[in-house]
Amino acid sequence: MVARAAYHVNRMPITIATLEDAAVELNRRAAVATPVDARRAHKAAAERETNPLARYVLNSLVDNAELAIVDDRPMCGDTGLPRYYVKVGNAAQVEGGFAAFEHTLRKAVALATQAVKLRSNRVHPLTRRNPGNNVGVFAPNIDYRFHPVGDWIDITAVHKGGLFGSDYRMLFPGDGIGGIKRFVVDTIAAFHRRGLACPPAIVGVGIGGTKDQSFTLSKEACCLRLVGDRHPDPTVAQLEDELLDLCNSTQMGVMGLKSQTAVVDVHCEIAYTHTGGLPVGVSELCTAVRRSTVRLFNDGRIEFREDPLWFDAYMRREGVDFPNDAAGLMPAASPARQEVN
Ligand code: SF4
């Protein structure tokens, strides 16, 4: 009986009241405060820019991001589409279960639309009916992953803007890395040339998996990794560096101006794929980098942070088993991560 009492004490659920308050605040932070890694990247881009007009606009981006924080207002008039990425520790518990959890995340978007003054962007795709609260069928998107240890839930809110800048293609295995590079650069050039993007962007490239996986990975890669972060697989990391140089060689930068910085970073994720194909997805996160993460513990603690810590060794595991080694479960240390945390 004593052991059972201790078991219950250690596994208190995350309360709905705590979750609701945290989720509304999370959406406020995402809309208002551009993360430090993105602000640093935009500042660095302004400092190295040689086109005076592009430098002027890049500096305006930096000023705008800082003023939004001071004024506590959304950093772009188009506040994007609120969505959530949720990582659940294996020992996490929620009052009312995960149906109550989802209900609360949806309610928080409606509350934040009023409280933070998010633009009500979500409409019925055919009738264009606008409920006015950014909540509707499959809206907000909520994506889940799981973690083998932890009495916590990580919630990352992303308010992704940018209607364009994304594409998908099924390449052949023989197209190889050269074909991937060509597709990525063609995509960036096509959208930036037509003004259908707000550069400088963060590009995500999903390589392999199934068709839908490659595109999902591309979106997660651009939204959920810090600028400067590199994939732990050296082959993938090298491709990230090469794609960054290639994308910037287009010189299609901020406001359509000639610029050294078309993109501030390129993040690639891979998934094992069909032997007969090479699906590739490309997504761009516009200059409005809007994400914020909170960790809710079973015992009531709440920790807000800027690094989503989404991709980790467990998520990228190979094979059936994963060594139950806590050190191996976390993302590899990178200069980008050390600077922000
Ligand atoms: S693409 Fe991004 S920066 Fe441009 S208007 Fe939309 S949210 Fe704002």
Question: For 61-74, what is each residue's pLDDT tens digit?
Answer: 999 999 999 999 99
Q: How high is the pLDDT of residue 322? A: 82
| Mutational test site, ligand 1, from 121, 264, 286, 289, max ligand atoms within 8 Å of CB | 286
Q: What is the DSSP string of 221-252?
A: HHHSS-TT---SSHHHHHHHHHHHHHHHHT-B
Domains of the chain plus CATH, in order, are 11-32+75-161+291-310 (3.30.360), 162-285 (no CATH)
Measured from the CB, is residue 200 less than 6 Å from ligand 1? no
Question: For 203-238, what is each residue's pLDDT tens digit?
Answer: 999 999 999 999 999 999 999 999 999 999 999 999
Instruction: Say how many Å lie between the CA of residue 75 and the centre of ligand 1.
Output: 10
Instruction: Say how many Å lie between the CA of residue 302 and the centre of ligand 1.
Output: 30
Measured from the CB, is residue 134 less than 6 Å from ligand 1? no
The pTM assigned to this predicted structure is: 0.93
Measured from the CB, is residue 162 less than 6 Å from ligand 1? yes
Burial of 95 (0-12, 13-18, 19+ CB in 10 A): middle
**C-beta pairs of 317-320 under 8 Å, 24+ apart in sequence:** none
Angle (CA) 51 57 60, round 5°: 140
Q: DSSP state, 175?
A: G
198 CA: nearest ligand 1 atom: 4
In this structure, which residue's CA is closest to atom 5 in ligand 1? 78
Instruction: Say how many Å lie between the CA of residue 74 and the centre of ligand 1.
Output: 12
Task: Give exposure, 28-63, as e/b (b: 16+ Cβ within 10 Å).
Answer: bbbbbbbbebbbbbbebbbeebebeebbebbbebbe
| CA–CA gap between residue 266 and residue 313 (Å, rounded) | 20
Q: How high is the pLDDT of residue 304? A: 98
Q: How high is the pLDDT of residue 196? A: 86
Measured from the CB, is residue 285 less than 6 Å from ligand 1? no
In the chain, what is the greatest distance between 2 CA atoms, to the nearest angstrom? 73
163 CA: nearest ligand 1 atom: 1
Instruction: Say how many Å lie between the CA of residue 77 and the centre of ligand 1.
Output: 8
C-alpha to C-alpha distances, 31 to 60, 76, 201, 322, 329, nearest whole angstrom: 18, 8, 17, 37, 30
159 CA: nearest ligand 1 atom: 7
Strand ranges (E), the chain: 81-89, 142-147, 152-160, 167-171, 201-208, 263-271, 278-285, 291-297, 302-305
162 CA: nearest ligand 1 atom: 1
Regions of the chain where pLDDT drops below 70: 1-11, 324-341
Query: Residue 29 is encoded by which pair of tokens?
Result: 């932070």
Q: Residue 287 in contact with residue 224, Cβ under 8 Å?
A: no
C-alpha to C-alpha distances, 209 to 55, 269, 315, 318, nearest whole angstrom: 39, 10, 14, 13
Supply the angle between the helices 16-32 and 97-112 in degrees, to the nearest 10. Answer: 40
Instruction: Say how many Å lie between the CA of residue 79 and the centre of ligand 1.
Output: 8
Query: Residue 139 is encoded by which pair of tokens?
Result: 């809206």
Q: Residue 12 in contact with residue 93, Cβ under 8 Å?
A: yes
Measured from the CB, is residue 76 less than 6 Å from ligand 1? yes
Measured from the CB, is residue 74 less than 6 Å from ligand 1? no
Q: Give the distance, in angstroms, between the CA of residue 108 and the centroid of all CA atoms in the same chain.
A: 19
Query: Residue 317 in 3-state DSSP?
Result: coil
Measured from the CB, is residue 80 less than 6 Å from ligand 1? yes
Q: How high is the pLDDT of residue 339? A: 62
Measured from the CB, is residue 156 less than 6 Å from ligand 1? no
C-alpha to C-alpha distances, 132 to 30, 70, 109, 136, nearest whole angstrom: 19, 27, 11, 10
HSE toward the beta carbon, residue 2, CA cutoff 13 A:
0
HSE toward the beta carbon, residue 27, CA cutoff 13 A:
29
Measured from the CB, is residue 198 less than 6 Å from ligand 1? yes
Instruction: Say how many Å lie between the CA of residue 288 and the centre of ligand 1.
Output: 6
